[in-house]
Structure 1
Amino acid sequence: MYRPTILADMPNHAKAMTHEPFGPLALVQPVDEIDQALARANALSYGLAGYAFTGSAATVNRIAEELAVGTIGINQMVVTIPETPFGGIGDSGWGREGGIEGLEAYTVKKYVGHLQI
């Protein structure tokens, strides 16, 4: 079992910063401006979830539009419940689980046109 761990101010080339870590690991990198934050976050091919903390409504909107992840938590760490879809983009997976979007993967849609003769 691993204990929850926070890694702060890691160099950009560190393995934890270039791969998709799982487990109780939080990577913290303070930034000076939103452009820098988005560039760092979108630099990798992974995009399962992202988190940001801000008091600016304009920054919230920009992160929501530009952060390349499947799920975003802004000013919160809980970003999914059973009724909502969860899944990543890029190398973080395909499809969604949860919500109606998760059920769609198990359905087959078929159209049958029938003309009475």
Structure 2
Amino acid sequence: MLADVPLSARIMHEEPFGPIAVVNRFGTLDDAIEEANRLPFGLASYAFTRSAETMQRLAQEVEAGMMTINHIGLALPEVPFGGIRDSGYGTEGGSEAIDAYMVTKFVTQMAV
């Protein structure tokens, strides 16, 4: 874990993979959401808060394919896994994963 990482650090401009977490403090929720959405990546996001209002705003405003609040459980086989923007398009896992292979057809018929 890296704490209080300055914005000038390389890790603050790349999509990190592996056993690393950057933990920074923010003065306002707006500042935290702005930082979360600053880069073109959006695979997973994690947040910890006691406020139901903050949870609601984070869920609506943070641009990521997956979000977990107050725990770290994201990767379960029965739920979709995927990112947005430069972190990938589409999902795998969960019932949503089959959507790319489906052809939806709407048919109506009247008896004659």
Deviations along 1:20-78, one digit per CA (max 9) or x if unpaired, are: 01000101101121111001111000000111100000000000000000111100011
Residue 91 of structure 1, aligned match among 86, 94, 106? 86
Name the amino acid aligned to 2:68.
G
- The answer to whether residue 101 in structure 2 is matched with residue 106 in structure 1 is yes
Q: TM-score, normalised by structure 1?
A: 0.85
- The answer to whether residue 13 in structure 2 is matched with residue 7 in structure 1 is no
Matches of 1:33 and 1:52, distance apart in 2: 14
- Flag the 1:61–1:111 CA change in 2: closer, same or farther, 3 A: closer
Q: TM-score, normalised by structure 2?
A: 0.88
Number of residues of Structure 1 aligned to a counterpart in Structure 2: 111
Question: Could you tell me the percent identity over the aligned residues?
Answer: 50
Q: CA RMSD in A?
A: 1.9
SS in 2 for 1:51: strand
| Counterpart for residue 82 of structure 1 | 77
Matches of 1:22 and 1:110, distance apart in 2: 40
CA positional deviation for 1:13? 2.5
Deviations along 1:70-116, one digit per CA (max 9) or x if unpaired, are: 111100011231111111111000110111111222334466899xx
CA positional deviation for 1:10? 1.2
Matches of 2:60 and 2:104, distance apart in 1: 31
| Counterpart for residue 21 of structure 1 | 16
Mind listing any 5+ residue stretches in structure 2 that lack a counterpart?
Answer: none
Matches of 1:56 and 1:112, distance apart in 2: 47
Mind listing any 5+ residue stretches in structure 1 that lack a counterpart?
Answer: 1-5
Matches of 1:106 and 1:24, distance apart in 2: 33
Bigger Cα displacement from structure 2, 76-85 vs 33-42: 76-85
SS in 1 for 2:55: helix
